[in-house]
Amino acid sequence: MAGVGNASTWAPYNVTAADTLPVPVYTPEKIVLAGVLTILDLVTFLGNLLVLLSFYFEPKLRSQSFNYYIFNLAITDFLVAVTAMTFYTIDTVLGYWPFGVAMCGVWIFFDFALTFASVFTVVAISVDRLWSVTWPNHYRTHNTRRKTATLLVVVWICVFVLWTPPFIMDRLRQDDPYRCIWEPSENQDFVLVVIVIGHYVPCTIMVGCYIKVSMAMMKLGKVSANRKAAVQPTPSAWSTATSRVFKTELSEVSQQQSLPTASVTVPPNAEDQRPTDTNRGGSSSSRERRAFVTLSYILASYMVCWFPFYVLFDIYAWRPDLVPEGLYICWFWITYANSALNPVLYAFSSKDFRLAFKKVLLCKK
């Protein structure tokens, strides 16, 4: 969410005698900061590029509609690295905005828009998981990749509808070519809309869905365990009963044909040959568990990185004097770090993504 608590106010610049182009002030601290922010930007860029390439080259990832949400989230994080983080790193290091008023507008628009796109995508993931575990038959019948793509298009439409009006109104008031900022204290009416629709409502939906999904997954695990225990008798009981039946039948046949009595003993693992229902839907349940683990990591990362920032954002909008600028900017960058962390979470929670990453990195087909 660039442009808020901008580095131009945190790291002052010197102004030339002609009062035209500011002269940046370089200190050892700012040089170290530039290195750290550049590394974070590169990690975010390369990590999410890896996700996009994996999705493109690995058919297995494209075969599951859930992964299209991950793909959309990777697009937003990749664009955050290309646009928001890159420009903000330069602004932070120089201490002023060197790209002019027009590029300032582009930067702020994309940064806020990508923030909302990420949030709404996580909401869509949460609702998708709730639908999947609460109404599994309906989900399998009606959920398709086309519907998922349509929902993601709706997400982006909502982003532009929500953000365009406050962006335009704010840009009409800004004319400083060396200062690029969307100041919350100057846009309090829009801040209410942004924080309610862009954060607190989505946050409530995400947490509510996650609680319901967690309860459903726990119930599903118990039902699966009970069903498995019910349909699979002990090996000794099954093999003994089967052996007795075969012995009786063969004994009767041998007596009728005056042949020696023969007995057939079924091996202890014969119960494995019986048709059972325990494997029916097994792969589906496994996919549900993996998707739930991925959702857990994504949601936890979002709450840790973003919720504290929004608290500071709300306070800053009405009482800027209560929020230390260094703390504000520090947490501002932590929200960017969330975009760098997401690819790691995908790999950590999904074997399919790990294998796809390995193929891309090793240039394997």
Written as six digits, the tokens of 62 are: 């494209």
Choose among 210, 184, 179, 186: nearest CA to 198.
184
- Report which of 161, 160, 169 is spatially closest to residue 190, judged by C-alpha positions: 169
The verdict on domain 7-228+288-361 having CATH code 1.20.1070.10 is: yes
Q: Are 4 and 104 in contact (CB under 8 A)?
A: no
For the residues of 264-329, what is the DSSP string, one character each? Answer: ----GGGGGGS--STTTTHHHHHHHHHHHHHHHHHHHHHHHHHHHHHHHHHHHHH-GGGS-HHHHH
Query: pLDDT category, 69, cuts 50, 70, 90?
Result: very high
pTM over 0.85: no
Burial of residue 50 (number of CB atoms within 10 Å: 0-12, 13-18, 19+): buried
Q: Quote the CA–CA distance of 181 and 198 in Å, as a whole number.
A: 19
What pLDDT does residue 141 have?
A: 86
| Residue 188 CA, distance from chain mean position | 30
249 pLDDT band, cuts 50/70/90, is very low
Domain ranges of the chain: 7-228+288-361
Count of beta carbons in the 10 Å neighbourhood of residue 254: 14
Question: Distance between CA atoms of 68 and 120, rounded to whole angstroms?
Answer: 14
Report the helix count and the strand count for the chain, using DSSP H and E. Answer: 14, 0
pLDDT surpasses 90 at 30: no
User: With 0-12 CB in 10 A as exposed, 13-18 as middle and 19+ as buried, what is 353?
Assistant: buried
Predicted confidence band at 184 (pLDDT cuts at 50, 70, 90)?
A: confident
Min mean pLDDT across 7-11, 88-92, 284-288, 307-311 is at: 7-11
Q: Give 72 or 11, the one with higher predicted confidence.
A: 72
3-state SS of 131-182? Answer: HHHHCHHHHHHHCCHHHHHHHHHHHHHHHHHHHHHHHHHHHCCCCCCCCCCC
Instruction: Quick: pLDDT tens for 255-283.
Output: 454 444 444 444 444 444 444 444 445 55
* DSSP state at residue 188: H
Give the whole-angstrom CA distance, residue 275 versus residue 273. Answer: 6
Amino acid at 70: I
Give 155's contacts (C-beta < 8 A, 6+ positions apart).
Answer: 72, 117, 120, 121, 124
Residue 7 is predicted with a pLDDT of 42
Q: At what angle do helices 351-361 and 325-349 cross, to 10 degrees?
A: 90
Phi, psi of 14 (to 5 degrees): -85, 145
pLDDT tens-digit profile of 192-246? 877 888 888 999 999 999 999 988 888 776 555 555 555 555 554 444 444 444 4
Looking at residue 207, its amino acid is: V
